[in-house]
Amino acid sequence: MAAMTRLFRSSSSSSALCFIQRSLSTAAATEFKSQSGPPRIDPKDRNVQWVFLGCPGVGKGTYASRLSALLGVPHIATGDLVREELSSSGSMSKQLADIVNQGKLVSDEIIINLLSKRLEVGEEKGESGFILDGFPRTVRQAEILNDVTDIDLVVNLKLPENVLLEKCLGRRICSQCGKNFNVASINVKGENGNRDISMAPLLPPSQCVSKLITRSDDTETIVKERLRIYNEKSQPVEDFYRAQGKLLEFDLPGGIPESWPKLLEALNLDENEDKLSATA
């Protein structure tokens, strides 16, 4: 992690964003093929360096944060880092607002800079391992990450586009505790051989109800643009990891109650009730 932080730092200050390839992971990369699932290992003994891919609204944050609590590694969402920067009075905030509110991607340089700073803070706190959510989003970001560390698993969460749009429009965030909820009740009939998808709303507890906000980029026009950009810039990242045999494709079967146990099964993980109850 320390070396990854350093190299990210050096990469973000270099205009070419290119540097000597070194293997910096503290653990050897796991030989992983998506068909067989990762080997069953006690979560505590596992050096987790995972990436969550998937379209906007698919639930990367929800599942990555649950797994982060289960495995005891930090969940680092670059979207959260961008929103933190946006809400600060920092010099980049106006520039970022314009980009995010058009549904566009922030430059690789800015995002790597924000990620480096986050990793530095984590390093000071003694963090090890990570679950990255929303990074890498371009092949260039994936190549940079590949140059600085070994990613052992990439989970690609999938839902049909019409469900993604409904989910983004129904997303609500508690402005006080930061938790995500969803007011949409989704019942989509599968077409062209696709399965039906039902998802119950994920409603907030009473103390959050009056504090709910929506993300400024969760409007229909902006979500459609984010989906278009995902298909153009981020789908090639799926191919990048597929070629490395690290991609675990996961079609979400429904909402959290149906999907979470199946995801754990696909990851060869056992549920640890004590830790999970703390994240609900």
- Residues near ligand AMP, by CB under 6 A: 56, 78-79, 82, 99-100, 104-106, 111, 134-135, 137, 141, 217, 226
Q: What burial class does residue 164 get, using C-beta atoms within 10 Å of its C-beta: 0-12 exposed, 13-18 middle, 19+ buried? A: buried
Q: Residue 89 CB, nearest distance to ligand AMP (Å)?
A: 19
Residue 187 identity = N
Q: How far is CA 266 from the centre of its chain?
A: 17
Closer to ligand AMP by CB, 105 or 199: give it: 105
Q: How far apart are CA 2 and CA 112, in angstroms?
A: 15
Q: Residue 245 CB, nearest distance to ligand AMP (Å)?
A: 23
Closer to ligand AMP by CB, 252 or 264: give it: 252
Closer to ligand AMP by CB, 142 or 269: give it: 142
Closer to ligand AMP by CB, 171 or 246: give it: 171
Residue nearest to ligand AMP (CB): 79
Q: Residue 60 CB, nearest distance to ligand AMP (Å)?
A: 7
β 186-188/197-199 pair status:
antiparallel
Q: Residue 17 CB, nearest distance to ligand AMP (Å)?
A: 13
Cβ atoms of residues 158 and 251 within 8 Å: yes
β 153-158/247-251 pair status:
parallel
